């Protein structure tokens, strides 16, 4: 993977004209900005109950977006990341519909995980309480077979996302087929979506069990053999992330987004500096994604202290709500149809109160943090909360999943904050310093981040109390210093 900025986007929500239009944007309007692109689920259908993360057919590109050949063409110029939806498949899939019709006689019966697969004698209340899940309701959904039999199928996320039994031959075969198709179609990076939930064991949290680590390692080895690398997508306590990072190619630094917000809100860098001194180096950094802003990644868990304490987490959430004038509150928790109760749904730009300088400072800190940076299309264009879409769908995460026309994209590209961000991206991409050694220091309102690669260096000096951020890049022969405020002019 190249150590340059990557784009995260939907192929349908950015201009609405699919993969061909996406490639044109990358080549023209976004020229020089991105070395790779994470194309969010483009499988059939893109407009299911979870925006493509509930595929009816994981091996079919939705015809409204293009074909596998179109994807391959993008892969000739950019590193393409695609989602391997490890944990589940749509209840409308041919495989699950066959199970409903034929029950135990279906050739796909073993492909789907049932309560009795893990709890042969039924689950007890104590066992149920141990299970970690992203929604407040039961992790099982009763489904009536054609025979009249009612079976409890495991549904970690929604009632329409039926968990795969990845330890059976049919479950393995399903994932093998997708992996091989990815490799054939030019995918270079695989995001293991919800892989932390894939292996369930009675008497455990059924999340990131020892067996899960083994499973992820095996998937990674399969991908390597096909010429691809893997990214583990797991929201968890920061100590778990550090442990996971030692076992996979890369992880997401999901603690970074809330920590940067905390830093800017409180004009105090201490928690951020502590994290950057111990954070995994083999990571992808993000501020925003198609999901909400993660909170669990920086907070305490049970008896384990977090990077932020409970009161700091509460203050962080309340400040986001205040900065967004209550809009995020309407999209978070039980306020809308959310499956991710540990996240706040809000654009990162609105979380910062639409403060252009604070937003560029946040991006600069992200780009200087260890890891390969990714920028979500909503973040690239500094979009506001989409309250119209939220009102239409009543899906909390849609507040940050706008549908845009090509004309709207070009309009947003003309905003000073977006122009400044594009300049910042190009500076990050052009410096060889970021392939060197990282160091960070700071206290209270002062932060200094440095990269040194033989003669090349880059530094970011931030004084939060004075609202000044200076970025310096160069080598032993010459250097240039840029005030981030000047990028807005």
Sheet strands (E) in 378-445: 437-443
- What CA–CA distance (Å, rounded) separates 118 from 166? 13
Known binding site for substrate: residues? 50, 191-193, 233, 290-291, 340-343, 397
**Greatest alpha-carbon span in the chain:** 78
Closest CA to 189 of 252, 103, 279, 118: 252
Q: What is the DSSP letter of 250?
A: E
Task: Return the active site residues.
Answer: 193, 233
What's the chain look like in SS3? Answer: CCCCCEEEECCCCECCCHHHHHHHHHHCCCCCCCCEEEECCCEECCCCCCCCCCCCEEEEECCCCCCHHHHHHHHCCCEEEEEEECCEEECCCHHHHHHHHHHHHCCCHHHECEHHHHCCCCCCHHHHHHCCCCCCCCCEEEEECCCCCEEEEECCCCCCEEEECCCCHHHHHHHHHHHHHHHHCCEEEEEEECHHHCCCCCCCCCCCCHHHHHHHHHHHHHHHHCCCEEEEECCCCHHHHHHHHCCCCEEEECCHHHHHHHHHHHCCCHHHHHHHCCCCCCEEECCCCCCCEECCCCCCECCECCCCCHHHHHHHHHHHHHHCCCCHHHHCHHHCCCCCCCEECCCHHHHCCCCHHHHHHHHHHHHHCCCEEEEEHHHHCCCCCCHHHHHHHCCHHHHHCCCECHHHHHHHHCCHHHHHHHHHHHHHHHCHHHHCEEEEEEECCEEEEEEEECCEEEEEEEECCCCEEEEEEECCCCEEEEEHHHHHC
């Amino acid at each position: 993977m190249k150590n340059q900025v990557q784009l995260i986007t939907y192929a349908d929500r950015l201009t609405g004209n699919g993969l061909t239009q996406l490639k044109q944007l990358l080549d023209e309007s976004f020229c020089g900005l991105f070395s790779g692109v994470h194309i969010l689920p483009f499988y059939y259908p893109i407009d299911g109950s979870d925006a493509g993360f509930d595929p009816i057919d994981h091996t079919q590109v939705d015809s409204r977006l293009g074909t596998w050949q179109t994807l391959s063409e993008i892969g000739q110029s950019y590193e393409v990341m695609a989602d391997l939806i490890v944990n589940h498949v749509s209840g409308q899939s041919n495989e699950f519909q066959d199970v409903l019709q034929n029950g135990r006689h279906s050739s796909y019966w073993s492909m789907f995980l049932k309560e009795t697969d893990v709890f042969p004698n039924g689950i007890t209340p104590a066992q149920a309480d141990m299970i970690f899940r992203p929604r407040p309701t039961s992790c099982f959904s009763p489904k009536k077979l054609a025979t009249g039999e009612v079976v409890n199928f495991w549904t970690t996320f929604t009632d329409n996302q039926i968990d795969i039994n990845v330890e059976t031959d049919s479950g393995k075969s399903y994932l093998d087929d997708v992996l091989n198709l990815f490799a054939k179609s030019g995918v270079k990076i695989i995001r293991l979506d919800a892989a932390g939930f894939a292996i369930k064991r009675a008497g455990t949290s059924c999340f990131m069990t020892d067996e899960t680590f083994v499973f992820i390692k095996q998937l990674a080895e399969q991908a390597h053999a096909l010429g691809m690398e893997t990214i583990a997508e797991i929201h968890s306590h920061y100590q778990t992330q550090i442990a996971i990072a030692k076992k996979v190619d890369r992880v997401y630094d999901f603690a970074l987004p809330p920590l940067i917000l905390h830093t800017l809100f409180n004009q105090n860098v201490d928690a951020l500096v502590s994290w950057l001194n111990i954070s995994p180096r083999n990571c992808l950094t993000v501020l925003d994604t198609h999901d909400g802003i993660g909170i669990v990644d920086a907070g305490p868990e049970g008896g384990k202290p977090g990077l932020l304490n409970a009161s700091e987490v509460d203050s962080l959430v309340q400040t986001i709500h205040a900065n967004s004038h209550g809009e995020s509150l309407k999209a978070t928790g039980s306020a809308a149809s959310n499956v991710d109760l540990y996240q706040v749904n809000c654009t990162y730009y609105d979380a910062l109160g639409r403060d252009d300088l604070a937003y560029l400072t946040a991006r600069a800190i992200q780009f200087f943090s260890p890891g390969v940076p990714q920028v979500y299309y909503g973040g690239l264009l500094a979009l506001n909360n989409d309250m119209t879409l939220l009102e239409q769908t009543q899906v909390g995460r849609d507040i940050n999943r706008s549908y845009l026309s090509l004309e709207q994209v070009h309009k947003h590209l003309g905003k000073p904050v977006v122009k400044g961000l594009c300049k910042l991206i190009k500076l990050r991409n052009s410096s060889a310093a970021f392939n060197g050694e990282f160091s960070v220091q700071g206290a209270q309102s002062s932060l200094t981040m440095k990269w040194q690669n033989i003669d090349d260096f880059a530094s970011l000096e931030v004084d939060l109390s004075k609202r000044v951020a200076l970025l310096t890049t160069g080598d032993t022969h010459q250097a240039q210093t840029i005030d981030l405020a000047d990028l807005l002019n």
